[in-house]
Amino acid sequence: MIQLKERGNGVNLSPKSLCRGDEMNVLFATDGSEYSEGAARFLTKFNISKGDTISVFHAISWIPVMSEYEHLYADFSSLRKEVAPRILEATADILKATGANIETAFAEDYPDKAIVERAVEIGADIIVMGARGLRGIGSHLVGSITRAVSIKSPKPVLVIKPEQWAQEGNLKVLFATDGSDYADEVATMLASLPFPGSMELTILHVVFSTLMDIPERYALEVEDRIKKLVATHREQESRYSDEILDRAFNTVQGTFPEAEKLRKYGDPSVEILDTAGEIGADIIALGSSGKRGVRAMLGSVSRYVLNHSKCSVLIGKS
């Protein structure tokens, strides 16, 4: 049940009308699949400037061969190296529409490892990639390489799913915050990314109450002392939730003064996905880990949302 829905005040400004002080460096990871090319077409809708750089990167899978067929590996490797420039060129041709400076590179290594290392090497601000590669399946689950990059990358990762390839109208983003440092980083990033047109932003905080196991109808029937305890605790949770929502809104209001603030109660994984469906979100933005997270690893909520979201997912890193 929605407990809070509040709209901030201010003049409606789109990110396009704002001036970003720093040039953006995007690493676009491609495998030549329709998922990568669809993600590239989606990225062309962003307000990327001529001063920005998109580095198109392709990793050739490195598989050691230790058998009587080892002599064939050199031939396979040679063929892959001939195909790699064609993959890079096809993706670069799509991204030229952004007007950004386009660079291309490829490496022979384990793809997830190569993508993360390349992003660090070039100082990328964000990694962008399609949700599923050549081994994709007919579901919303992301592929193993996409998942591995999202987990290991110290850089923010935008995973674009097929539902957004033909996205039209205002872009709708659901920002799920838990008040952690990771979430604060996402808020800062949202305020600086060159989103297309007049983006609609909804800020969501899900309260996972310690009293969730006590059904409302039973909580109201217990003795007065317990009722007061329950009421006090829920009041504290609501107050803390307000603080989290206000902090996130204060960070993004210069870019999105009409962002909505929304509070729900329940399991964050479920409520985030349900809310994304309710508002028709194109992108869910959330931190890589919450306050119980492990450094450089995805938290359980982030991992669940990445795997099960129908829409694209932006994972911020601290």
d(CA 89, CA 199) in angstroms, rounded, equals 30
> How do the pLDDT tens digits run along the chain, 318 residues long?
333 434 333 323 333 333 344 789 999 999 998 999 999 999 999 999 899 999 999 998 766 555 555 554 554 555 566 788 899 999 999 999 999 999 999 998 889 999 999 999 999 999 999 986 444 444 444 578 888 899 899 999 999 998 888 888 889 999 999 998 889 999 999 999 998 877 899 999 999 866 556 666 665 566 666 667 767 777 888 899 999 999 999 999 989 989 999 999 889 999 999 999 999 999 999 998 644 433 334 578 998 999 899 999 999 986
Per the CB < 8 A criterion, the answer to whether 160 and 40 are in contact is: no
Task: Locate 29 and state its tokens.
Answer: 């990871």
Q: Each residue of 189-203: pLDDT tens digit?
A: 999 999 887 789 999
Class at the top of the CATH hierarchy for domain 2-316: alpha beta
Q: Residue 115 carries which DSSP code?
A: H
Per the CB < 8 A criterion, the answer to whether 318 and 297 are in contact is: no
Edge-to-edge strand ranges of the sheet holding 53-60: 2-7, 260-265, 200-207, 172-176, 283-287, 312-316, 157-160, 126-130, 25-29, 53-60, 101-108
Strand pairing class (101-108; 172-176): unpaired
Per the CB < 8 A criterion, the answer to whether 119 and 153 are in contact is: yes
Phi, psi of 133 (to 5 degrees): -100, -150
Work out the number of other CB atoms within 10 angstroms of the CB of residue 102: 18
In order of 48, 120, 139, 235, 315, the CA distances from 164 in angstroms are 18, 27, 15, 39, 16
In order of 62, 72, 315, the CA distances from 68 in angstroms are 18, 9, 44
Residue boundaries of the structural domains of the chain: 2-316
